[in-house]
Structure 1
């Protein structure tokens, strides 16, 4: 029996941050909206299609954006709301497909391979997209094909708020007329090198000997050739609900000292955040677990704006702990778990210097990797070691 044909869907919430802002304030609809820092500082996180007509784009300095579109509405953004709507879309997708990958706060891959035996995959994808729009009131584009990269490119061609299917056997018909800049991962430098080689369309790449591409571009040259032939991966990582990172501590002696418990909570959160960054992940949900001396165990979780930063995570962990810890009850164990994980390439709060902070934490991580995890630690985490770790 031959393997079933792969069916990969890519979903992308259009101008996600702006779309959420419009839900919060409908008067913004149809206006050039920029989510980013102040008009004088920071960078553009995302912008509406009306602002894009003036040449504004993500990661552009705000001063440049304001020169291009001086009448734009500039918003600092409601990042907790973005997290809530992202979680809502994720829950819908999780309930409707057998396997999915949350690639970022606003981007998903779904594997519908095998479903063609029971459903029309194209019709099912259309219905799922329409259901997401109905339930969230957010615009979302999607592509359906045999491979992840083709589906993502189909989504890009379907924007805004559209659907495009590339049938099996029609991959080259879709890809070959497109410009080389349309290939995922081709930046300005690679584009310039390809154009110097006389390659301007994906068809040009496909008709170039593979060995020549490899000699000029190394492994990336081989990857480009394979993509130009419509050959790509359909592998979907297991969805984030089955992924989490956690650490917990059981004390030799039951503890009542809130300051002591705070120190251990900070240490556990730091360890989780370190693991998070080692895997190049962000978390969108944090859970604090408490087991009392009588073995009653309780936990509380809260959705958070996606991050991998110690200070943000520690602040939220302590807040959750303080909310539900029953003062005066001896504690036997505390734990911290991160879930709803996503790749750290997703959009972050750029103008709040998250990227600079993340790079700083990663530099500290590098020191820990070289000299040991205890080489650098916060003063608040130091204290008597009277617990066992799991």
Structure 2
């Protein structure tokens, strides 16, 4: 039986995904400093090209600041429908070929190719798949191949832009050793600063610190860091079709035809599970609405949407589905809402046209809900 240490894991990452889609739509943008985000001074940068990064620009930076750093940058408002469509296109290419894959975000995938070397080489197979994705989608994509998800992701980052890299089994620790600690996934500025203050600059030094000392410094996060520094990661590739949906439903105390009440319930339920999405750092790409009438007949309708976790966008889709589905004047017994096709992501990359104030508002709302419960703050309904 194969052990976890003998796995073969590939990581695919669509390079500068939003920027690449914009360049695919308009080839004149290639090679230019390109910013994707809102046009107002209070908007933020959702994504930027490599050319823009040379000026110190990064995602989540205020657009006004980015344009001060690079006044000649081109700004595109963002087309999340196009990004979602291209993400689904690449997903279908991978799904047609890979024995087991996980869609970890709108532009990232992990493939478990364990055992494939018995029949043909994983490196050759992944190279051919990468070539197929580039040819069919027109998008650049980088590839890392290693024995676990952690090392394959780092290898992908090292292979960018539009390249590939493999790390042989047994060479994980030496591959990571010379890198700055910031190159380990989930090592943010704060953690890196704590390590730097203690003289820990590279992964090799981090890997040599006694585990109990790291735990004393950083708690459970210290244990995770030690494992990463030593190239250890036993997390499985989670099959995409098994990604959980988030749903809620409400059976009313009495069957009703009160439209004001029904719309209020749609708002309440949508806000509830949209908050759950953000809690889990997830975006949804599909909304389903269920209605059960007083005679127990149940009808459902769903729609694919641009990936999001924002209340106001999801509520608009839910209300649209309700208007299309509730086509007769009959008492309603139950309403259910489900968000599926979940991928990793958050509201900061899905609100292309929103301002810093809107992002700050969502953060403040979620802070209150985290502290006092999801029902502590809800939209007023006037429908």
TM-score, length-scaled by structure 1? 0.85
Contact 1:283 1:307 in 2 (8 A): yes
Q: Which residue of 2 aligns with 1:282?
A: 283
Q: Which residue of 1 aligns with 2:22?
A: 21
Q: Which residue of 1 aligns with 2:78?
A: 77
Q: Which residue of 2 aligns with 1:144?
A: 145
Cα distance between partner residues in 1 of 2:91 and 2:197: 42
Please state if 1:362 is matched with 2:366. Answer: yes
Instruction: Tell me the number of residue pairs that the alignment of Structure 1 and Structure 2 aligns.
Output: 379
Quickly say closer, same or farther: Cα 1:330–1:89, change in 2 above 3 A: farther
How is 1:283-298 mapped onto 2 (pairs within 5 angstroms)? 283-291=284-292, 297-298=298-299
Please state if 1:117 is matched with 2:114. Answer: no
1:15 Cα deviation after fit: 0.7
Q: Which residue of 2 aligns with 1:90?
A: 91
Contact 1:83 1:303 in 2 (8 A): no
Contact 1:348 1:355 in 2 (8 A): no
Report SS of the residue matched to 1:59: coil
Q: Deviations over 1:253-286 (max 9, x none)?
A: 6655544443333333233324334434332211
Cα distance between partner residues in 1 of 2:376 and 2:46: 35
Q: Which residue of 1 aligns with 2:61?
A: 60
How is 1:166-177 mapped onto 2 (pairs within 5 angstroms)? 166-177=167-178
1:47 Cα deviation after fit: 0.7
Q: What is the RMSD of the two structures over their aligned residues, measured on CA atoms?
A: 3.0
Moved more, 335-344 or 354-363: 354-363
Cα distance between partner residues in 1 of 2:135 and 2:148: 27
Moved more, 189-198 or 54-63: 189-198
Quickly say closer, same or farther: Cα 1:379–1:58, change in 2 above 3 A: closer
Please state if 1:305 is matched with 2:306. Answer: yes
Contact 1:301 1:320 in 2 (8 A): yes
Cα distance between partner residues in 2 of 1:211 and 1:377: 45
Report SS of the residue matched to 1:380: coil
Report SS of the residue matched to 1:101: strand
Quickly say closer, same or farther: Cα 1:208–1:251, change in 2 above 3 A: closer
Quickly say closer, same or farther: Cα 1:294–1:141, change in 2 above 3 A: same
- Give ranges in structure 1 of 5+ residues lacking alignment: 383-390
1:301 Cα deviation after fit: 2.0
1:73 Cα deviation after fit: 0.2
Q: Which residue of 1 aligns with 2:326?
A: 325
Quickly say closer, same or farther: Cα 1:296–1:12, change in 2 above 3 A: same
Contact 1:309 1:357 in 2 (8 A): no
Moved more, 192-201 or 177-186: 192-201
Q: Which residue of 2 aligns with 1:3?
A: 3
Quickly say closer, same or farther: Cα 1:330–1:187, change in 2 above 3 A: closer
Contact 1:9 1:142 in 2 (8 A): yes
1:143 Cα deviation after fit: 0.9
Cα distance between partner residues in 2 of 1:152 and 1:359: 28
Cα distance between partner residues in 2 of 1:31 and 1:144: 31
Cα distance between partner residues in 2 of 1:303 and 1:173: 44
Cα distance between partner residues in 2 of 1:338 and 1:254: 25
Report SS of the residue matched to 1:156: helix
Equivalent position to 1:348, from 350, 354, 375: 350
Q: Deviations over 1:65-92 (max 9, x none)?
A: 2222111101121122222222222333
Q: Which residue of 2 aligns with 1:266?
A: 267
1:294 Cα deviation after fit: 6.4
Report SS of the residue matched to 2:56: coil
Q: Which residue of 2 aligns with 1:388?
A: none
Contact 1:292 1:332 in 2 (8 A): yes
1:331 Cα deviation after fit: 4.7
Quickly say closer, same or farther: Cα 1:264–1:116, change in 2 above 3 A: same
TM-score, length-scaled by structure 2? 0.86
1:295 Cα deviation after fit: 5.7
1:21 Cα deviation after fit: 1.1
Contact 1:240 1:341 in 2 (8 A): no
Cα distance between partner residues in 2 of 1:319 and 1:179: 49
Q: Which residue of 2 aligns with 1:386?
A: none
